[in-house]
């Protein structure tokens, strides 16, 4: 019974996503000759073997992400790969269902499953996002700087591409230097200075919580071996994501099938920036950013570009739901419960603390009890 219900839910979500993208794109295209019937023809004509391989690769990418998280946990205590992989899939499924506010749910699920402090999980979450942001900057900067030959544009715009790529990589170097300095000298100083802010609540409590999480996350990296492990996992993960994008794009054939690995790097960089604006169960920014990259940068026709944007988003963003949603149901977590957890955590952070879940251990900062409300 649950299986049939789940299939219906997933089907409705996918149809809604397709319809929402069509509705949103109609206002962005502004071309009377755009053919919606041709868009569906493009989707139907894809090479299914490429798409199936991309779906399988997505779950391998989540596996690499779980390996990296487990490595970050090594100084907190033992954590089995299963205890990390399952909540990872559940967390990303929650993001798909509820949108960006559900980002706060994944560290809570990991804390409960791994039986570790919630504050430490949020610290690792901040560290993970830093490495992902750095990877996006490297992808965008490298593709903009090194692979202009694969772009359709030229002249003055190509010069701006080189400047943008250089700025991204320069900013990354500066931020990496800040991270090293903060870990060596700034963490204890800022913790002392912000100690009173946690009790103050409001925006001060939120800032104190974020800095504490940043400091806790950096404690997962205590030597060069930790740095190299984190970088290696990040390179493998994001390299695989680029390969997934190339698989999906090439699955459409035609002009899309001619795009190279470096082209897929740039499309991914656009998509990651667009994914910051995501509607619950619909997405939005990611598809639009992919569409813009394909049409404006690589001069792909609009119908195949729109079709590729839809399918890429469904595989990479919604793919986690195939396993993540059944796991959430097995854990007894409804959409309403996930929304409540995200809201409770957001409120707790304004008081300089975190919520707590049954099964996670007590941690610094006076976290709330089983009910999930902030003190």
Confidence (pLDDT) at 358? 63
Binned at pLDDT 50, 70 and 90, residue 244 comes out as very high
Alpha carbons within 13 angstroms on the beta-carbon side of residue 147 total 20
Average pLDDT of the segment spanning 40-64 = 88
Identify the H or E element spanning 279: strand 278-279
Give pLDDT, residue 314.
Answer: 87
Average pLDDT for 231-256: 91
Contact residues for 5 (Cβ-Cβ < 8 A; gap 6+)? none
> Residues 6 or more apart from 308 whose CB is under 8 A from it?
42, 248, 249, 252, 256, 290, 294, 300
Compare 244 and 340 and report the one with higher pLDDT. 244
Burial 216-240 (b: 16+ CB within 10 A, else e): bbbbbbeeeeeeebbeebbebbbbb
Rounded average pLDDT over 271-276: 72
Q: Is 334 exposed, middle or buried (0-12, 13-18, 19+ CB in 10 A)?
A: exposed
Q: Could you tell me which of 282, 329, 287, 324 has the C-alpha nearest to residue 309?
A: 287
pLDDT at 149: 53
Model confidence, pTM: 0.75
**More confident of the two residues 292 and 192:** 292
Check pLDDT > 50 for residue 321.
Answer: yes
Residue 15 neighbours by CB distance under 10 Å:
10
| Interval 170-182: pLDDT, tens | 766 776 676 666 6
- Helix, strand, coil % (nearest 5) of the chain? 75, 0, 25
Task: Inform me whether the pLDDT recorded for 134 exceeds 50.
Answer: yes
Helices 2-29 + 321-330 axis angle, to 10 = 140
pLDDT of residue 68: 95
Scanning 219-301, the segments in alpha helix (DSSP H) are: 224-250, 261-274, 285-292
| Per-residue confidence band for 336, with pLDDT thresholds at 50, 70 and 90 | confident
Which sign, positive or negative, has the C-alpha torsion 359, 360, 363, 366?
Answer: negative
**pLDDT tens, position by position, 5-51:** 444 444 444 444 444 444 444 444 444 445 556 667 777 778 889 99
Higher pLDDT, 65 or 7: 65
Q: Measured in whole angstroms, how far is the alpha carbon of residue 176 from the centre of its chain?
A: 20
Structure tokens at 137: 């900057």
- Best CA proximity match to 269, nearest among 287, 290, 284, 246: 290
Which residue would you say has higher pLDDT here, 312 or 276?
312
| Of the candidate ranges 281-285, 339-343, 354-358, the one whose mean pLDDT is the lowest | 281-285
CA gap 287, 290 in Å, rounded: 5
Residue 284 has pLDDT above 80, yes or no: no
Question: Does pLDDT of 55 surpass 90?
Answer: yes
When the pLDDT of each residue in the chain is averaged and rounded to a whole number, the result is 74
With pLDDT > 70 as the criterion, what percentage of the chain qualifies? 59
Q: Can you read off the two tokens belonging to residue 349? A: 């952070």
Find the mean pLDDT for residues 53-67: 96
Q: How far apart are the first and last CA of the chain?
A: 40
């Amino acid at each position: 019974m649950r299986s049939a219900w789940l299939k219906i839910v997933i089907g409705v979500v996918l149809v809604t996503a397709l319809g929402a993208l069509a509705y949103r794109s109609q206002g962005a295209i502004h071309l009377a000759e755009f053919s919606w019937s041709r868009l569906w023809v493009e989707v139907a004509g894809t090479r299914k073997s490429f798409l199936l391989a991309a779906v399988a690769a997505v779950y391998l990418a989540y596996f690499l992400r779980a390996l990296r998280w487990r490595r970050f946990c090594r100084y907190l205590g033992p954590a089995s790969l299963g205890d990390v992989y399952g909540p990872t899939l559940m967390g990303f499924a929650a993001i798909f269902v509820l949108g960006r506010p559900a980002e706060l749910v994944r560290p809570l699920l990991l804390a409960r499953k791994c039986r570790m402090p919630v504050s430490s999980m949020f610290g690792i979450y901040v560290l993970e996002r830093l490495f992902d942001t750095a990877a996006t900057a490297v992808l965008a900067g490298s593709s903009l700087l090194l692979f202009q030959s694969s772009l359709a544009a030229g002249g003055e715009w190509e010069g701006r591409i080189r400047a943008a790529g250089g700025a991204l990589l320069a900013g990354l170097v500066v931020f990496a230097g800040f991270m090293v300095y903060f870990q060596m000298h700034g963490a204890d100083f800022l913790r002392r200075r912000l100690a009173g802010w946690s009790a103050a609540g409001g925006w001060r409590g939120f800032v104190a919580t974020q800095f504490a999480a940043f400091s806790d996350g950096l404690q997962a990296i205590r030597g060069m071996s930790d740095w190299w492990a984190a970088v290696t996992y990040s390179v493998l993960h994001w390299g695989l994501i680029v390969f997934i994008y190339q698989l999906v794009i090439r699955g459409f054939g035609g002009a899309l099938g001619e795009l190279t690995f470096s082209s897929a790097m740039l499309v991914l960089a656009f998509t990651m920036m667009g994914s910051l604006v995501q509607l619950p169960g619909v997405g939005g920014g990611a598809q639009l950013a992919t569409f813009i990259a394909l049409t404006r940068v690589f001069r792909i026709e609009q119908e195949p570009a729109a079709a590729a944007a839809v399918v890429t988003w469904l595989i990479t963003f919604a793919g986690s739901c195939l396993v993540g949603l059944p796991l959430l149901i097995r854990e007894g977590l409804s959409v309403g419960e996930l929304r409540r957890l995200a809201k409770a955590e957001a409120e707790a952070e304004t008081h300089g603390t975190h919520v707590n879940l049954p099964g996670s251990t007590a941690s610094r900062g006076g976290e709330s009890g089983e009910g999930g409300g902030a003190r």
